[in-house]
C-alpha cells in the first residue's frame, strides 16, 4: 500500500527530493555541554535557517548556565582529520569558526581555511558569556596574523574588538574606526557588534568606504542571552551559503538573532540560552 505524499504546512514549501541537498555549512568550534553556545548553538541555528550543518570540534567544555568549569582541546591532528573528512567528501558552501583556544589550533585552522573556496565567518571567541577565558592570551596575536587574513568577515563583540585592535569602543561614534582597524588586519569585512552599549542593539558592517551598513533592533530586557555571538555568526554563514550577499546575510541574521534573544529562556541557576526555535513556537 502506497502512502500519500506529505502536504507541507501553510506557508512552507514542499520537501526537497532525495537528491536535492540543502546548502552545506561547516562550523569549526568548541562543544558546549549545556547546549546553549558553541557547536550546539551553531547546528541549531543552521537547522532553523534551512541549511545542512556539519562540525569540526576543536575542544570539549564542561559548561552550564553558571559558567565554564573546564575545557579540553582536541589534538590538531583530530581537528585536521575532521575537516578533511567533511570538506573532501561532502564539500562546504560556507564556514564559521568559533572557539579555537590555542596557538596550535588557530594555526591549524587558518592553514586549512586558506585552501577553501568558500566564504569564512570568523567569530573570534575570547571569553564566554560568564567571563571565562576560551582563548589563550598568547593566541590572540596568532588570530590577528593568521586567521583574520583568511576571513571573509570577522564578527567581534566590543571586548574582542579591544583584544584584537587595542581600541576601546564606548559609544556608536567609535564603532566605524574600530571596524576600519579590523579590516586593516586582513578580513574583507568586519561586523562590530554593539550589544554591550546602551540604547538600541546596533551593529556596524564595514567593507570599505562605500560599504558601511548599520543594523538596528530593539533591545529586550532579557538576561538569557547565552550563545548570542555563536548564533549570529552561524546565521550569517547560513545566509552566505544560500547565496545572499554579505549585507543581506547580516540583515537576515540580525532579524533571526533578535527574535532568538526575545525568546531566550531560563535554564539552571544562571544565564539561559537564546531560543533557536523561536519561529516554530
Of the candidates 11, 15, 43, the residue with the CA atom closest to the CA atom of residue 235? 43
Using the CB atoms, write b or e for 204-226: b if 16+ within 10 Å: bbbbeeeeebebebeeeeeebbb
| Whole-angstrom distance, CA of residue 217 vs CA of residue 200 | 6
Sequence-distant (6+) residues with CB within 8 A of 244 are 252
Residue in the structure block whose three cell numbers are 550589544: 195
| Whole-angstrom distance, CA of residue 260 vs CA of residue 265 | 10
Residue 247 CA: distances (Å) to CA of 173, 215, 254, 262: 20, 10, 10, 23
Q: Supply 255's cell numbers.
A: 532579524
Phi, psi of 72 (to 5 degrees): -130, 120
Phi, psi of 31 (to 5 degrees): -90, 135
Q: Supply 52's cell numbers.
A: 545542512
CB 236 within 8 A of CB 211: no
| Active site residue ranges | 193, 225, 227-230
Amino acid at each position: 500500500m502506497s502512502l500519500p505524499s506529505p502536504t507541507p504546512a501553510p506557508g512552507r514549501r514542499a520537501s526537497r527530493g532525495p537528491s536535492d541537498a540543502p546548502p552545506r555549512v561547516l562550523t569549526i568550534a568548541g562543544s558546549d555541554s549545556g547546549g546553549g553556545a558553541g557547536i550546539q548553538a551553531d547546528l541549531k541555528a543552521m537547522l532553523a535557517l534551512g541549511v545542512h550543518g556539519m562540525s569540526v570540534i576543536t575542544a570539549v567544555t564542561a559548561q552550564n548556565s553558571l559558567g565554564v568549569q573546564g575545557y579540553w582541546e582536541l589534538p590538531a591532528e583530530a581537528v585536521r582529520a575532521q575537516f578533511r573528512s567533511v570538506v573532501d567528501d561532502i564539500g562546504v558552501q560556507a564556514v564559521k569558526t568559533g572557539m579555537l583556544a590555542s596557538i596550535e589550533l588557530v594555526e591549524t585552522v587558518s592553514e586549512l581555511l586558506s585552501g577553501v573556496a568558500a566564504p569564512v565567518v570568523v567569530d573570534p571567541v575570547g571569553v564566554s558569556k560568564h567571563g571565562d577565558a576560551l582563548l589563550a592570551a598568547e593566541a590572540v596575536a596568532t588570530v590577528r596574523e593568521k586567521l583574520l587574513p583568511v576571513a571573509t568577515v570577522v564578527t567581534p563583540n566590543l571586548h574582542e574588538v579591544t583584544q584584537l585592535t587595542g581600541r576601546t569602543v564606548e559609544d556608536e561614534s567609535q564603532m566605524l574606526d574600530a571596524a576600519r582597524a579590523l579590516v586593516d588586519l586582513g578580513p574583507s569585512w568586519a561586523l562590530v557588534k554593539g550589544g554591550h552599549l546602551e540604547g538600541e542593539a546596533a551593529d556596524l558592517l564595514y567593507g570599505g568606504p562605500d560599504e558601511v551598513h548599520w543594523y538596528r533592533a530593539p533591545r529586550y530586557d532579557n538576561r538569557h542571552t547565552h550563545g548570542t555571538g555563536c548564533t549570529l555568526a552561524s546565521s550569517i554563514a547560513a545566509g552566505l551559503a544560500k547565496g545572499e550577499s554579505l549585507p543581506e546575510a547580516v540583515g537576515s541574521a540580525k532579524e533571526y538573532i533578535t527574535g532568538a534573544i526575545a525568546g531566550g529562556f531560563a535554564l539552571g541557576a544562571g544565564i539561559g540560552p537564546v531560543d533557536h526555535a523561536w519561529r516554530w513556537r
